[in-house]
Structure formats: structure tokens, C-alpha cells
Amino acid sequence: WSISMAVDTGGRNWPLRITATDGSEVRVAMKQGEMVIYNGVDLSHRRTSLRASRATFLLLHYAREACPS
């Protein structure tokens, strides 16, 4: 398993979309300095195309064991 963390450092309105275990989509809109922690291996996650010229995020991924490719 893996734990992923995304911290928004730029304050852009660019929500992270996570597919929950029941198949529903959860949109996580973060303000500058906020973070979300999620299981990035088991939960499908994505963002739409960025409409701004740039965005800055801090990403941290922790894997207890080797994750499947």
C-alpha cells in the first residue's frame, strides 16, 4: 500500500478528483497551504487540464512495500 499527500502551495482552483471505493468521484478543492492524504495506489486519482500558466504543489509518497507497476 501507499499513502500520497498533495499540498497546494499556489492557491490555484485545480481540484484533485479521487474515485472512492464505491465508484463515486470525490472532488477535493484545496486552498493554499491545505493538503489531502489518500491511498494513491488503491484509489484512482487525476486532475483535469490546468488552465493557468503554472501551479506549484508539494507531493509526498510513502510506500511501505514495493508497489506493483
At residue 18, does pLDDT exceed 80? yes
Please report, as a single letter, which amino acid is at residue 16. L
- The residue with cell 506549484 is 56
Is pLDDT of 8 > 60?
Answer: yes
Across residues 23-42, what is the average pLDDT? 85
pLDDT score recorded for residue 27: 93
What is the distance between the alpha carbons of residues 45 and 9, in angstroms, rounded to a whole number? Answer: 19
Give the span between the Cα atoms of 54 and 47, in whole angstroms: 14
